[in-house]
Amino acid sequence: MASFEDFLKLDIRVGTILEAKVFEKAKRPAYQLKVDLGKEIGIKKSSAQITNHYQPEELVGKQVLAVVNFPPRQIADFMSEVLVLGTYSEGGVILITPDQPAKNGDKLG
């Protein structure tokens, strides 16, 4: 069982997807994303297995939530720096997004 203190260790921020392209070398279908997480954190890369519900061109400009304090993870020849959050739903992953525009870098609270 996780404690509330465990949850507080996660740094979850709002970011805007600047770029999305097919990740050709991934073992499972995925996109390579560039996400603007505000001045404090900057632009970070993420590998996201979200190909079932999204096309790369529709992701650009979309705001998402991402965990920014996990260690980077090497996936093929790509370093994924943040974990974009989604739900494992029927038919694939659905991104968790703010329901109103938020400032890049805003913390989940």
Supply the CATH number for residue 42's domain. 2.40.50.140
Q: Which tokens hold the place of 99? A: 């329901």
pLDDT in tens, 61-71: 999 999 999 99
Give the integer Cα–Cα distance in Å for 27 and 43. 25
Closest to 63 in 3D by CA, of 101, 93, 12, 25: 101
Residue 109 has pLDDT above 90, yes or no: no
What pTM did the predictor assign?
0.95
How far apart, in Å, do the first and last CA atoms of the chain sit? 21
Report if residue 58 sits inside a domain. yes
Q: How many CB atoms lie within 10 A of CB 87?
A: 9
pLDDT in tens, 47-85: 999 999 999 999 999 999 999 999 999 999 999 999 999
Give the integer Cα–Cα distance in Å for 9 and 30. 27
Q: Which tokens hold the place of 74? A: 């090497």
* Total domains, the chain: 1
